[in-house]
Structure 1
Amino acid sequence: MKVTQQLFLFIGLLFSSILFAGEITSFTKKRNEVTFNCKDGSKLSLTINSSSVVKVWFDQSGKFSRQNPSFAVVNEKLENIGDISVNEEPSAYEIFTSKLRIRVNKNPMQLQIFDKYQKLVFSDYNDKGNVPNGKGVKSYKNLRSDEQFFGLGEKTGTLNRRGKNYKMWNSDKPCYSTTEDPIAKSIPFFMSSYNYGIFLDNTYKSEFKFGTESDDYYSFEAPNGAFVYYFIFGKDYKDIQKQYITLTGKPIMPPKWALGFAQSRGLYTREDQALEVAAEFRKRRIPIDIIYQDIGWTQNLQDFDWRKGNYKDPKGMLKKLKSNGFKMIVSQDPVISKKDNKQYLEANKLGYFVKDVRTDKAYEMPWPWGGNCGVVDFTLPAVADWWGKYQQKPIDDGISGFWTDMGEPAWSNEEDTDRLNMKHHLGMHDEIHNVFGLTWDKVVKEQFDKRNPNKRIFQMTRSAYAGLQRYTFGWTNDSGNGNDVLDGWSQMENQVAVGISAGLGGIPFWTTDISGYCGDITDYPAMAELYTRWMQFGVFCPLSRAHHEGDNAVEPWMFGEVAEKNTKAAIELKYQLFPYLYTYSRKAHDTGLPITRGLFMEYPKDLEAAKIDNQFMFGEEILVAPVLKKGERVKRVYFPDGEWIDFNDKKTEYLGGEKLPYKAPLNTIPIFVKKGSIVPMMPIMQYIGEKKDYPIIFHIFPNYEDEKASFTLYEDEGENLDYLKDIFSLTHIICSTVANGFNIDISPEDKGFHQSDKRNFVLSILTDKKPTSVSINGNAVTWVPTEKLNTETDFSQQWSWDENGKKLLVKIPDQRKKINIKINN
């Protein structure tokens, strides 16, 4: 017994000395970086990147070496911190910034971060802040009883991650369930309700466990590689996300037309079909900008040659489509098929394929299409220009962009362990797997930029890592129910949360596959309701694409007259909201803030808002509560703090703070506008840019007396890169509610661009009283009946009163001069 006790004691001592970071014995400092040296040889490095961002690097070897520099972080110099000071106390070291007090306890080593008011924000859990495990590290952090977590990019399930585990391993999961994990993208960044965010900058198969192991702690871990994470303190979720974007790079802006509607299908792979579908959309007057071509458009994967027999005159096809306002997007795959393909022989000879570490020859990847393939090694610098020449061929023919598909690469999920034998130029596959798609998208964009100067890229990707927003947009993979397409309601509902989460991962421009990708459609009338509701949600995705597998057609007219009518109306609404959406697209570029936002982001103090997974804010002014359940005609809508006006009737008001029933028949999307808002819109067009001189309609939902409503409209050329040079125009509008009416100021601010030399502004003001007079810059304005208010071709100043709608309409030519409108009741 005594021997056994001694053995247990020895094992315990060994366990504590090996597994837990031990006592700090000294520190060294170099400007804004402090390294703490431990008795066991491990080291902890803290780099103060700004007054609110700290880079934490634990290395059990003490060498601080890494195989590759960060694939995600592009800017660590967030603030000129200068030479920091370290205060040494008997039991701890302390570092102060203007926002944080950082404390590192000596024995055992423990990192704690307080705000400037000495409130504990973030802490290692006891002595387990960094626990080595073989080549990996697991980090345990204090968990508060009321702490909530949001983020990790595209993930299924509830928005609040508390009580769940997640892995980072890009996975090809068609028809994924509402709880399946992992799926196609890995973005190891999350935010806590305690005003901090964590970005674990490690590309291996990291894991996050938010309170599943204990009520006292949560953890994140990586099996290999440098254990580096960034602590980001912020006043709210928006502040934290902005700082994450500053670290990892701004999202690129899509071309204007990308925000229109897009139609796709798995077997959209024929010239005659593309022209027929385009003609049918125009005939039925359903707005659309984009037609996709899926994987079978090429002769071979991935030679970028049009498939013989399917395309007789691709240049002519693209010219016809362009003349009718269409853009075409074609797919890319990151592989080259081996069979009867001269491109394979060329790439193999040049050494451009990922190698099999067992043979040092090209790894043979089984591929869902085209048999065995070579996997292109996009981490090899020489590959970039070679790939760029190939992908330029269809661009020169007239296509408008790509969707990079299957970039996990496909069939490389956790169970596919043979893929771990792949050796890339920059490392083994266990390190490169999660960034494989990112390195591909980087090549696609940089080569596009090189060969198409001053032109915005359209690139939409399935699989990527943190930082993808610098190169590409996203879609939420192959959703839907493959076993029973009619039973895809829960998958559709969870797409709302998956999309909101995409935005939290730095992907503001994304789409769901409207209709769901999975499942054979054999009964179109039975599918009509699901399709209609998916479209009514999907038009509020910044990028809106209808897509389905195989030859399952999902054009609006396939589902019957009622579904066509209702989906057409939803698409038309998307186009009407384009000025609003495009303004938020610029904000997304500048700040990284998502366009579709969880209620918790706009209302972080509203505890009920944090529980809502099936509604979202569309920008800051508009609340969307799509109908997501079969047969539902009354939607219970949660209204956050404030007052909300029914966007559909522009009359009914709802007081925030509770769930209320809202009638939503098949032709209705529950949409609400925050009181005290201005929403810019435009007339329905068949495609973005169909008319240059369209009027801007400012829908004004006035605030209370002595309060204001305001908006700043953003406009630019829409397809070139001048936005990166800040060449654009702004139109500031402020509506002040006064005792006897309204006082409205419009102030243009042109920075090398203005949209039109001849267009109108139309103010649509929600008010109960017909005014007695309207003046513009002190001059009385002529009243006309509503039916005679010509907003598109007449450029005189006019006003009208809509008694039924209880709204005042004021038309003013936009002469890019300051305008003051006084409205007297």
Structure 2
Amino acid sequence: MRKTTIYLILILLLIKNTVSAQDIGNGNQTLGNCSSYTTKNNQLIFNCKNNVKVMLQFCSGQVLKVWISAEGTFKRNNESFAVINEDLGWTGNINVNEETSAYEVFTEQLRIRVQKSPFKLQIFDKYQKLLFNDFNDRGFVKQGNRVATYKTLKPEEQFFGLGEKAGILNRRGKSYKMWNSDQPCYGVNEDPLYKSIPFFMSTNHYGIFFDNTYKTEFKFGSESNEYYSFEAASGEMIYYFMYGNDFKQIIQNYVALTGKPIMPPKWALGFSQCRGNYTEEQQARNIAAEFRKRKIPCDIIYQDIGWVEGLQDFDWKKNNYQNPKDMVKQLGEQGFKMIVSQDPVISQANKKQWEEADANGYFATDIRTGKSYDMPWPWGGNCGVVDFTKPEVADWWGNYQQKPLSDGVRGFWTDMGEPAWSNEEATDRLNMKHYLGMHDEIHNVYGLSWDKVVTEQFYKHNPNKRIFQMTRAAYAGLQRYTFGWSGDSGNGNNVLEGWSQFANQIPVGLSAGMGIIPFWTSDISGYCGDIKDYDAMSELYIRWMQFGIFNPLSRAHHEGGNAVEPWLFGTEAENITRAAIELKYKLFPYIYTYSREAHDTGMPIMRALFLEYPNDTETYNLDGQFLFGRELLVAPVVEKEATTKRLYLPEGEWINYNDGKTLYKGKQWITVEAPLNVIPMFVKKGAIIPSMPVMQYIHEKPNYPVSFDIYPDKVGKESSFVLYEDDGESRDYEKDIYCKTKIRALSNSSGYTIHLNVREEKNYKPSGARNYIVKLHSGTKPKSVMVNSSKIKKEKTEVLLQKADLVNEKITYSWDEKEGIVYVKLPDTGLDSQIEISYAL
């Protein structure tokens, strides 16, 4: 009996030790025990059972790269497609404190603890709060080619991110896949979609970027309340841990790794119009004329894929365009820019170009035949898939795409780059071989590789000129090359039933922003569905437009011949739509200032409330509203026939932007009136909002007066805003060539002091003379107004505004009693100016 007991104990010990390193029964390889370590520069490498090694690379005191190599070689097929910089400021040596059961390393912000038996990674903040923790011995599990990691899930932990995903913003309890998929008319919870951005953030003060391009999956507690996991079908287990005091800091760390977003040309932030069959010269001329005739601001007219003679030869379709160069020139004289689409394939019917690419080996090949892969395509017949991972392809493609650019076209939208119809069930595509690897590895980065070529070639042929490029399929790091739109949204079965898909575009857009796609749009009206009754469609169109004007790249678009120009939906819809678009143009200086912030920090313009209010748990589940910058809160109406909107106001005090007066205290839910012509919109008390006059296209009048709407804060509390400006067209902003003007406002017991600081000019200043119009929303009639210690005269508000463009006029002020606004008009000298507004005591 005693012998039997000893044998049983020995067997159990043997099983335990074996399972901790290699589960023979299910073929799962784990890390097992950690026996030793070595250091080299900023890398700490642990040696575990079965030759498995774990590298901890210290990029900075906040960012840690974790690489678990099952073979112990730290080799990968390709360098990272997303990460371009791992040197984020780490200096000094790695000092390892070895204990009996663990190793520890300290940075200024973190304490990293590695348990020896079995290997277990734990990361604490400097206050010893556990942030991130391997779940039991499952910090690494490999079965066949599949690699996975499991992390302990805290009861209160919530997750956000993964880029442009459908469904609610809060990912807790859900699972998601990364496999770029063409999902026309996708549902409100459909997954995967067009883009793969394997970056997420936790309310536990960290973010994770899983640097693996294969099909990956994230399970945020969908399998258990004890753990969450992320895994890939193949490739390496490489991820970056990023600490942050708040979500903003985490995003900045991610941007430091993957690159800053490019800024669009200034006109890209205007309104743009598109349609599936925008493919004819006369049609483009007629649409442009109608916009100008009806005085609806518009900057861009798109041309969809039918503009080409052959897919993808970049030649204008001869039967559709009589004089395309002249068309583009004349539209340009009216303020319109033309953007054309491109697809990443060459049709076999386009014999000359197809044979050229095939002979040069520019297509992805079929491993079964060794020949160019034969790709069925939605139009143009079967095609060859251009292999943008092959270096020689870049110049070849760049020379082709330059043809319309030389005609005056201003940029592209890169469509169908999944490549199209390549969803999970399209397994035949896995037989494609690219220059840099098999399709299972390249699939998710195919669109990114294409966008990289498009942008770099644009820069090569058009030096120091900003690109406009908007893409559908992408991977992490896309912000270095392109902008984004959310693909084929809407209800294809019944366009009038598209309200839920429309409503879901709010969290889709907010999620895209957190994936570092700050310059984004949905297809206003929804792409899918035949519009048979324009009157019936008008309400959905209006409400989508009222949301869409806050999409930084606002584009109206619909499939096929379904026209979605504003005037088609009736007079009321046209007027409401015009007012919404005019609001976008009015806010251009505000939007452009936040565009620079997006470039510098990665922070989106359209942002989820928890990015600004991370300690307010009420913001974690707000999917129907957003901040536009920091100062404006927008809550679009997304329900059919709704005339009210229930929304949440975070801390502080908020003013109804539409009347400029009604004040609400924050940290409460409210219900506001929202008839069809009203966008529920609030401005934070203490905000300063720059604006410009409404124009028919961005900077139609280059020397327009800049207005500053001041919503004064409490007595003794200063407000401020820093207006950013540059030339809006060149890449000089990358060299920090710009100017900034800070405006400050301080309320006191007897009035207000407003200070326009001397302009900070970095080799740039606004061209020509202009005025500033200061608009103080005080609600109180002033006794006197002084500018730079000199008392100024009063005039009627309508007279002051009529002279807003006249620079050499005297400095004046007015009092609008109905609106409760004090206006002050003064020339922009670029120097310090101080305004004193006094009230009778």
Alignment TM class, shorter chain as reference: over 0.9
Matched residues in 1 for 2:761 and 2:747: separation? 27
Is 1:601 the counterpart of 2:611? The answer is yes
1:136: Cα distance to partner? 2.3
- Matching residue of 1:689: 699
- Matching residue of 2:231: 221
Matched residues in 2 for 1:396 and 1:340: separation? 22
Q: Deviations over 1:21-62 (max 9, x none)?
A: 100011000121000001221011000100100000001111
Secondary structure of the structure 1 residue equivalent to 2:474? coil
TM-score, normalised with respect to structure 1: 0.99
2:632 to 622, 627, 630: 622
Is 1:130 the counterpart of 2:140? The answer is yes
Change (3 A) 1:433 1:821: same
Matched residues in 1 for 2:14 and 2:578: separation? 73
2:770 to 759, 762, 767: 759
Is 1:375 the counterpart of 2:379? The answer is no
Contact 1:168 1:188 in 2 (8 A): yes
- Matching residue of 2:837: 823
Contact 1:798 1:812 in 2 (8 A): yes
Contact 2:691 2:708 in 1 (8 A): yes
1:360: Cα distance to partner? 1.0
Moved more, 73-82 or 370-379: 73-82
Q: Deviations over 1:357-401 (max 9, x none)?
A: 111110000000111000000000000000000000000011000
Matched residues in 2 for 1:380 and 1:463: separation? 19
Q: Which amino acid aligns with 1:86?
A: V
1:305: Cα distance to partner? 0.4
- Matching residue of 2:174: 164
Size of the alignment, in residue pairs?
A: 824
1:793 to 802, 806, 809: 806
Contact 1:300 1:341 in 2 (8 A): no
1:80: Cα distance to partner? 3.3
Superposed, which structure 2 residues align to 1:89-168 within 5 Å? Answer: 89-168=99-178
Contact 2:342 2:414 in 1 (8 A): yes
1:781 to 792, 802, 814: 792
1:135: Cα distance to partner? 1.8
Change (3 A) 1:583 1:340: closer
- Matching residue of 1:648: 658
Change (3 A) 1:566 1:20: same
Matched residues in 2 for 1:732 and 1:13: separation? 65
Contact 2:147 2:236 in 1 (8 A): no
Is 1:505 the counterpart of 2:515? The answer is yes
Secondary structure of the structure 1 residue equivalent to 2:395? helix
Q: What percent identity do the matched residue pairs reach?
A: 61
Contact 2:285 2:331 in 1 (8 A): yes
1:809 to 802, 812, 823: 823
1:549: Cα distance to partner? 0.2
Is 1:17 the counterpart of 2:24? The answer is no
Matched residues in 2 for 1:126 and 1:551: separation? 57
- Matching residue of 1:253: 263
Q: Which amino acid aligns with 2:527?
A: Y
Secondary structure of the structure 1 residue equivalent to 2:51? coil
1:265 to 260, 269, 275: 275
1:756: Cα distance to partner? 3.3
1:711 to 714, 721, 733: 721
Gap regions ≥5 residues in structure 2: 23-28
Superposed, which structure 2 residues align to 1:191-340 within 5 Å? Answer: 191-340=201-350
- Matching residue of 1:395: 405
Contact 1:763 1:809 in 2 (8 A): yes
Matched residues in 2 for 1:389 and 1:10: separation? 65
Q: Deviations over 1:73-116 (max 9, x none)?
A: 01100003222111111111111100000000000100000000
Q: Which amino acid aligns with 1:800?
A: S
Is 1:44 the counterpart of 2:54? The answer is yes
Contact 2:58 2:90 in 1 (8 A): no
Moved more, 92-101 or 130-139: 130-139
Contact 1:49 1:81 in 2 (8 A): no
Matched residues in 1 for 2:220 and 2:821: separation? 50
Matched residues in 1 for 2:79 and 2:38: separation? 23
Change (3 A) 1:597 1:15: same
Contact 2:168 2:507 in 1 (8 A): yes
- Matching residue of 1:637: 647
Q: Deviations over 1:237-269 (max 9, x none)?
A: 011001100100000000000000000000000
Secondary structure of the structure 2 residue equivalent to 1:56? strand
Matched residues in 2 for 1:458 and 1:417: separation? 33
Secondary structure of the structure 2 residue equivalent to 1:342? helix
Contact 1:764 1:807 in 2 (8 A): yes
Q: Deviations over 1:1-38 (max 9, x none)?
A: x9999999988765443132100011000121000001
Matched residues in 1 for 2:312 and 2:425: separation? 26
Q: Deviations over 1:712-741 (max 9, x none)?
A: 000000001110111111110000111111
Q: Which amino acid aligns with 1:793?
A: L
- Matching residue of 2:25: none
Matched residues in 2 for 1:402 and 1:315: separation? 16
Secondary structure of the structure 1 residue equivalent to 2:50? coil
Is 1:566 the counterpart of 2:580? The answer is no
Contact 1:149 1:162 in 2 (8 A): yes
- Matching residue of 2:26: none
Matched residues in 1 for 2:403 and 2:256: separation? 35
Is 1:749 the counterpart of 2:793? The answer is no
Moved more, 2-11 or 732-741: 2-11
Superposed, which structure 2 residues align to 1:26-45 within 5 Å? Answer: 26-45=36-55
Q: Which amino acid aligns with 1:797?
A: I
1:771 to 770, 778, 782: 782
1:447: Cα distance to partner? 0.3
Contact 2:21 2:33 in 1 (8 A): no
Q: Which amino acid aligns with 1:791?
A: A
1:609: Cα distance to partner? 1.2
- Matching residue of 2:427: 417
Change (3 A) 1:618 1:24: same
- Matching residue of 1:86: 96
Secondary structure of the structure 2 residue equivalent to 1:362? coil
- Matching residue of 2:498: 488
How well do the aligned residues superpose, as a CA RMSD in angstroms?
A: 1.4
Q: Which amino acid aligns with 1:755?
A: P
Moved more, 809-818 or 7-16: 7-16
- Matching residue of 2:86: 76
Matched residues in 2 for 1:162 and 1:580: separation? 34
Superposed, which structure 2 residues align to 1:396-545 within 5 Å? Answer: 396-545=406-555
Contact 1:480 1:492 in 2 (8 A): yes
Change (3 A) 1:240 1:340: closer
Q: Deviations over 1:116-166 (max 9, x none)?
A: 011101110111111112122110001011110000000011100000000
Is 1:180 the counterpart of 2:190? The answer is yes
1:772: Cα distance to partner? 0.9
Is 1:551 the counterpart of 2:564? The answer is no
Change (3 A) 1:561 1:6: farther
Q: Deviations over 1:173-205 (max 9, x none)?
A: 000000000000000000000000000000000
